[in-house]
Structure 1
Amino acid sequence: MRTFYLLSLLLFALASCQQPAQYISNEGYIYGTIYHVTYESPQGKDLQPEIEAVMMELNQSMSTFDSTSTISKVNKNEPTELDELFITIFKQAQKISELTDGAFDITVAPMVNVWGFGFKNKEQVTPQLIDSLKQLVGYQKVHLENGQLMKDHPNTMLDASAIAKGFACDMVADYLYSQGCKNLMAEIGGEVVAKGKNAKGNYWSIGISKPDDNEFFTQQKLKAIVELQDRALATSGNYRNFYVEDGIKYAHTIDPKTGYPVQHSLLSTTVLADNCMTADAYATAFMVSGLEKSIAIAEADPEIDVYFIYSDPNGNYQTYVSPGFKKLLKKEYE
C-alpha cells in the first residue's frame, strides 16, 4: 500500500511538471527583413532562441554581407570547404536555372551590383559595361567538382538572396517539426511555410498583396487569400520597386541574359510548392520570364501552382490562376 501511494505521488508530480501544448508566436529581424513564426509547442516552450540560431546558421553560409561566410569566400576565390547548406542551395538553384532557361541565375550578382540598389547607378551603366559583365554571368559558368565550386571566370560572383530566404523558412519549419511542433507557420519577408492547422483548427490563410503603386507608404491591400495545406508559398513583385523614365516603367528585376531590367506586364508572381526554396526561386524566375513564358514553365512542372497578377493593355489588373492554385483560393478581391 505504501509503495502504491509513493508511486501515485511520483506520477502526479511528473504530470504536474508537464506543460500543456500551446500556440506561441515569435517575431524579429533577420536578413534585412522581419520574420513571423507561429507554432503549437507540445509542452508550451518558447523556441525563439533556437529558431534564430537556425536562421543564423544559414547566414554564416549564404550571407554576402558577412565577409567570413562561405559564399563570400567563394566570391573572393578564397580556399573554403563548402558546407552542406551551400551545396543544397546551389544544386537547387542550378536545377531551377535549367528549368527556366536561365531566368533564375545566382551568378547575376555583378549585374545587380552595377545597377545599384534602386538603380541609383543607372547613369553609369553603358552597353560596353553590360557586355563585359555578360562574360561573368551565366549559371553554366559555375559547377561543383570534388566538393569545390569551380568558375570559368574568377570574377564571377554568386548571390543567393532570391532563394536562400525561402530555404531559411524550410529550415525553421523542419526544426520546429523535429521538436514535435506539427502545427506551424514560418514566414520570413513574405516567404511562407505552413504545416498542420492554426489555433482555430483551420488551415493557415495567407494574403497576396494587390499591386498598387499608389499604396506605397500606406497599408497594403489584398488581392487574394490562399489556404496553405502543408505547402510553401513565395511571392515576387515589381510593382513597388521601379523607376520611370520617358514614361516607361523599368522593374527592379534584372534579366541575367540581357543585363538590363525587365519590361513586361507581369506585376506579381506567387508560387506554391512543396518547399519554400523552390517557390522562392521560381517566383523570381517568373518575374524575369514574363507572363506567357512563365505560364508555359509552370504548366510543365506539376509540382508547382501559380497565381500571376498582370496589367492588360488598358492598364487594368488581370490574373492567371493555375487549376491547383484555384482550389486553395479562399477569396479574391477586385
Structure 2
Amino acid sequence: MIKKKLYWQIPFLIILIVGSIWIVRCQRSMPYQHNTGMIFGTVYHITYQYNEDLQPAIEAELQKVNMTFSTFEKNSLISQINQNKPVKVNDMFADVFNLAEKVSEETNGAFDITVAPMVNLWGFGFKTGQHPSKKEIDKLRGIVGYQKVKLVGNTIKKADPRVMLDCSAIAKGYGSDVVARFLKRNGIHNFMIEIGGEIVTMGNSEQRLPWKIGVTKPTDDKLNNNQELETVLNVTDKAMATSGNYRNFYYKGGKKYAHTIDPKTGYPVQHSLLSATVLAKNCATADAYATSFMVMGIDKARALLEKHPELMAYFIYSDTKGKLKVWYSEGLKPQAPGV
C-alpha cells in the first residue's frame, strides 16, 4: 500500500518541479519597466518587473494622492480644508491624518502638520537675512500645534479657523506606499519606488540582487551639483525616507545647523543632527519619523528608537569640531558608496 501511494505522488512531484522551473524562467525573462515623471513638485523614479508599462495607471494613483494633499492645487481636499469649506475627508486623508497624529504624540510634538506658517516665515527670513521678530513668531504660535486640529468622524475640526494643514512631510512617503500597494495588487513582487527621495522596495533589482540605496552626504552645495554619497544601504522589502535640509544650512559659532524649525518654540533647532534616514515597514511612517528626528536631535531620537525596535535609522551629525560623524541602528549594515 505504501509503494502504491508513493507511485501516485511521483507525478504530482514532477508537475510541481516542472511548474516551479517554468515560473522561475518566466520571471527571469520578464522585463523591468522604468518610469520617470513629476509629481508633488518633485521627480519620481519607479522600476518594476512586468510585461506591460503601467505608467498611466501609476500616475492615476499618484494624482489621487496629489488631489488629496497638494496645497498648490486650489481644489485639492487639503486646500478646501484650509479654506474652511465644509468637506468630508476621504480614506487617504484619514489614513495620513491618523498616522500624523500618532507620530506627533510619540514625538511630543516634534512632528506637526500645522507648522507650515512658521516654516514659511523663517524660509523667507533665511533668504533675506532678516529673521522674524519675536512678535511675529508668537503670533503664529497661537495657530500652530497638532492638538489644535482633530478628525471627528469624517470631518476636520479646528480650534481656530486660521489653522493651516500641510502634509508635505509625510505625503511623498504615503504616495510611495500607494504605488507599492498598486503594484502588489497587479502581482508585481520586484520593484523600487522613489518619489523625491522617499523609497519603497520589494524583491530584487534588475541585477537579481537586493536593492541598494545611497544616502547623500550633507554638503554646502545649494545648486545640487554634488551628489556625493555618505554610504549605501541594503534596502529590500522595506521603506526608507531621509530628512535633512541638504545644501541649506546656517552657521552659528562656527557650527553648521540645518534649517529645521521646532514647532513648539517657533525657532530653528540648534543641535548637531544634519541628516536623518529612517527605515520602516511603510514609507509614510519612515517619512514622518525622519522629519521628527531632525527636530528632536540625535540624543532624543536615539532614545525614541529604543522604544521602537521596528524602526532603523542612519544619522549624519556634526561633532564638537564641526566634522561629519555617523550613527546607525544595529540592524543596519552600511557599505562604502558604490559597493
Q: Which of the residues 173, 185, 192 maps onto 1:166?
A: 173
Unaligned stretches of 5+ residues in structure 1:
1-17
Residue-pair matches, total = 312
Q: 1:116 to 1:214 in 2, by over 3 A?
A: closer
Deviation at 1:22, TM superposition (A): 1.3
1:283 aligns with 290
TM-superposition CA deviations, 1:231-257 (whole Å, max 9, x none): 000001134112447856453211101
* Cα pair 2:257 2:274 within 8 Å, conserved: no
Deviations 1:175-223, CA, capped at 9 Å, x for gaps: 0111111100000011100001111211100000112225854331111
Q: Is 132-141 or 86-95 further displaced after alignment?
A: 132-141
1 CA distance for matches of 2:191 and 2:335? 19
Indicate conservation of the 8 Å contact 2:125/2:131, yes or no: no
1:78 paired to 2:76: no
> Corresponding residue for 1:296?
303
With structure 2 as the length reference, what TM-score do the two structures score?
Answer: 0.87
2:249 is aligned with 1:242: yes
Aligned partner of 1:63 in structure 2 is: 70
2:36 paired residue number: 27
Are the aligned partners of 1:272 and 1:325 in contact in 2 as well (CA < 8 Å)? no
Query: Alpha carbons of 1:50 and 1:296: their partners in 2 closer, same or farther (altered >3 Å)?
Result: same
CA distance in 1, matches of 2:37, 2:255: 37
Matched-pair identity in %: 52
Alpha-carbon separation, structure 1, partners of 2:109 and 2:260: 14
| Alignment partners' CA distance in 2, 1:264 and 1:131 | 22
In the other structure, the counterpart of 1:233 is 240
| Superposed CA RMSD | 2.0
SS in 2 for 1:38: strand
Where 1:120 maps in the other structure, the secondary structure is helix
1:229–1:267 CA distance, 2 compared to 1 (3 A): same
Q: Tell me the CA shift for residue 112 of structure 1.
A: 1.7
Partner of 1:9: none
- CA shift digits 1:102-124 (9 cap, x unpaired): 10000102212222357336626
> Could you list the per-position Cα deviations for residues 28-47 of structure 1 after superposition, in whole angstroms to 9, with x for gaps in the alignment?
11111111000001xx1001
Q: Is the 8 A contact 1:270 1:306 kept in 2?
A: yes
Write the distance in 2 (CA, Å) between the matches of 1:192 and 1:255.
25
The CA deviation at 1:265 is 0.7
SS at match of 1:203: coil
Equivalences for residues 1-334 of structure 1 within 5 A: 21-41=30-50, 44-116=51-123, 119-120=126-127, 123=130, 125-213=132-220, 217-244=224-251, 249-326=256-333, 329-331=334-336
Is residue 243–residue 250 contact of structure 1 (8 Å, CA) maintained in 2?
A: yes
Note if contact 1:210-1:223 (Cα within 8 Å) is conserved in structure 2. Answer: yes
| Secondary structure at 1:314 match in 2 | coil
Q: Are 1:249 and 1:263, in contact at CA under 8 Å, matched by a contact in 2?
A: no
Whichever residue aligns with residue 268 of structure 2, its letter is P
SS in 2 for 1:324: coil
**Alignment partners' CA distance in 1, 2:163 and 2:71:** 14
**1:238–1:287: 8 Å Cα contact kept in structure 2?**
no
Secondary structure, aligned partner of 1:34: strand
TM (norm. structure 1) is 0.88
Q: How big is each residue's C-alpha offset from its partner over 1:127-149, in whole Å with a ceiling of 9 and x where there is no partner?
A: 01111111111111111112111
Given that 2:45 and 2:194 are in contact with CA atoms closer than 8 Å, whether structure 1 keeps it comes out as yes
Shift of 1:287: 0.5
Letter in 2 for 1:255: D
Q: Which amino acid aligns with 1:185?
A: M
Give the match's secondary structure for 1:46: coil
Q: SS of the residue aligned with 1:271?
A: strand
Moved more, 277-286 or 137-146: 137-146
Q: Deviations over 1:26-76 (max 9, x none)?
A: 1111111111000001xx100111111111110100000011111111111
